[in-house]
Structure 1
Amino acid sequence: MKILNVFVGIITLILFSSVFVSPEYLPYVGLLPFFIPVAWLLNFFLLCIGILSWRKWALIPLAVLLIGYRFTEITFQLNSPDEVSTPKVQVLTYNAHLFDYKRRLNGGEFDANVFKWLQEHPAEIKVFQEFYNDRTSSSRNALKLLGEDVGFESSYHVIDGQEEKRSYGLAIFSKYPIINEGKVFDNQRTNGAIFADMVIDMDTIRIYNSHLESMKINSDGLEDIEGVRDNYRQTLGKLHRGSLTRSRQLKVLVEHISFSPHPVILMGDLNEVPYSYTYFKLSENLKNAFETAGRGFGFTYNRILFFLRIDHIFSSPTLKAVDFKTHREVDYSDHYPVSATFTLPNSQDF
């Protein structure tokens, strides 16, 4: 039994270490972190057996779990909302799936309630991935419905289509004045990253809206054992290629953030679980709002792989998250909206 604990411990430590290695430098290393939750649970199981049987080898899984305490922090939180009276700003990120997910999934007519919910949400800054705008239709003109109609300014980057008619891309909406905007990158198909600088009270904050390379997993094909057997090879290949592309996009994004003259809030569908090189690389200089103010597991994916948290909100350390929510009641997309509330830099005591 001791040998088994040592073996499992070594494998787990290797998996823990994999999040610090870019897939650009070691092929397929991006797949290893997916096994971290399984390894963590196995060590916890061995620890329980060791404790119940009063075995000294229980110290092995205990040591492994203590070394990997960071993975517990990023998985589950029990924070309570921090009631503060200082100036604060609320943000929201949403992969909108073209605002047409339910019709595409079940047929029928377009559901305009998605715009009603988004208009009524109190966030002063809202960013969208897979944003679709149709200027030829009053019910699908998202730029007008989420911008002009509610008094928000907007920054919109078209990835595909014609902006004056029908188009697709990334969008940032703000109740505050936008004084600068730009593109970080796009792949001219579906993914990319943009930014906008806005004046909030006496502060200028840079907002990043990022949609990193999609996993492209056929989740419908993983609903049963037969589907898993038929699709696992293809899925592993997609996961590998996706993690490699995201690591290259991440390099561009991190460099851009490093030159920001203002505190930043990075939001979006990063297509990465917390056990990933991307998550840990961003965490080197930014704080994750879920870890600071979240509760529960914070899963953000609205499909069969419901246990994924791939929509994230990061910020500069000078912006403290005091609340974080995953809006699981909002099922207009294959992602749930995620919101967070931050105190502003000039409202904090440093």
Structure 2
Amino acid sequence: MRYFYIAIGILSLGMFSSVYISPEHFPYVGLIPFFIPVVWLLNLLLLCIAILSWRKSAFIPLIVLLIGYRFVAITFQLNPKIESTEPTIDVLSYNAHLFDYKRRVTGGPFDPNVFKWIQDHPAGVKVFQEFYNDETSSSRNALKILGDDMGLEYSYQVIDGNPEKRSYGLAIFSKYPILNEGKIFDNQKSNGAIFADILVNQDTIRIYNSHLESMKIDSDLLENIEGVRDNYRQTLGKLHRGSLTRSRQLKVLVEHIRFSPHPVILLGDLNEVPYSYTYFKLSESLVNAFEEAGRGFGFTYNRILFFLRIDHIFSSPELKAVDFKTHREVDYSDHYPVSASFNFE
């Protein structure tokens, strides 16, 4: 029995270490982290069995659980609610699904309440992925509705379409002056990364809005056992190709952040769960707002794979997160918005 415990322990540690290996260097390593919660729970079960059986081998899963404790912290948090006495920088990130998710799913009319919710949210900085703008329609002119009408400055990077008619891309809206802006990369489809330097009082903060390569998984095909059985190979292939592309995009993004002359806040749909190379690579220099101020699981995906947290907010260490929320009451997209509040330390 002890050899079984040792084998599971070695396997678990190998899987834990996979988050430090780029998918560019080891084929399919990007798929391994999806199983990390399973092996962590397996070790917890083995520990309980060993303790109840008075087995000396209980120390093996115990050591594994202690080494893998970080995976608990990035999965579930019980941070106390902090009432900040200092002014905060409030930010919001939303993969808006072209502001048209409900119509696409139900076939009903466009719901303008999505714009009202965004307008009413108090965040001073709001960033959007899969942002859609229609200059020919007063009800779908998002730049006017969310920017001009609200007195906000904005930076909009068109990925596809005609900016004078209909287009979509990435957008940053700010109640603070925008001093500088730029594009980091885009793949001419729906993904990319942009930045904007904003002036907050006398300080400049660099805001990153990033939408890394999508998983491109049709979750509707995975709603039942038959769908999983028929599509698992195709799904694994998409996960592998997606993780490989994201690791290449991440390299460009991390290098850009490294040379930022200002503290940064990185927001966006990274299409990566916390048990991933991308998440751990960003955590080397940035702090995740959910870990610092979140509560619960913070799942952000509004589809059958509801247990995914793929929308993230990171910041430089000198920016202290005092609040983090996943707005699960807002169902205008296949993603839930996430928001955070920061103090300067």
Q: Which amino acid aligns with 1:239?
A: L
Deviation of residue 29 (structure 1)? 0.6
Deviation of residue 202 (structure 1)? 1.5
What secondary structure, in the 3-state scheme, does the structure 1 residue paired with 2:60 have?
A: helix
1:102 aligns with 2:105: no
Deviation of residue 296 (structure 1)? 0.5
1:57 counterpart residue number: 57
Deviation of residue 109 (structure 1)? 0.2
1:214 aligns with 2:214: yes
1:68 counterpart residue number: 68
2:166 counterpart residue number: 166
CA distance in 2, matches of 1:102, 1:2: 54
2:200 counterpart residue number: 200
Q: Residues 117-166 of structure 1: CA distance to partner in whole angstroms, max 9, x if unpaired?
A: 00000000000000000011111000011101111110000000011110
1:37 counterpart residue number: 37
What secondary structure, in the 3-state scheme, does the structure 2 residue paired with 1:266 have?
A: strand
CA distance in 1, matches of 2:306, 2:21: 27
2:316 counterpart residue number: 316
Q: Which amino acid aligns with 1:175?
A: K
1:190 counterpart residue number: 190
Q: Which amino acid aligns with 1:149?
A: D
1:2 aligns with 2:15: no
2:132 counterpart residue number: 132
1:253 aligns with 2:253: yes
Deviation of residue 88 (structure 1)? 1.0
What secondary structure, in the 3-state scheme, does the structure 2 residue paired with 1:208 have?
A: strand
Q: Which amino acid aligns with 1:75?
A: T
1:86 aligns with 2:77: no
CA distance in 2, matches of 1:249, 1:212: 7
1:145 counterpart residue number: 145
What secondary structure, in the 3-state scheme, does the structure 2 residue paired with 1:131 have?
A: strand
What secondary structure, in the 3-state scheme, does the structure 1 residue paired with 2:83 have?
A: coil
CA distance in 2, matches of 1:127, 1:80: 26
1:234 aligns with 2:234: yes
- Unaligned 5+ residue runs, structure 2? none
TM-score w.r.t. the length of structure 1 is: 0.98
CA-based RMSD of the aligned residues comes to: 0.6
Deviation of residue 52 (structure 1)? 1.6
Deviation of residue 18 (structure 1)? 0.4
Segments of 4+ moved more than 2 angstroms: none
Q: Which amino acid aligns with 2:166?
A: R
Deviation of residue 218 (structure 1)? 1.1
CA distance in 2, matches of 1:5, 1:296: 31
Deviation of residue 83 (structure 1)? 1.2
What secondary structure, in the 3-state scheme, does the structure 2 residue paired with 1:126 have?
A: strand
1:329 counterpart residue number: 329
1:14 aligns with 2:10: no
CA distance in 2, matches of 1:137, 1:51: 66
TM-score w.r.t. the length of structure 2 is: 0.99
Deviation of residue 86 (structure 1)? 1.2
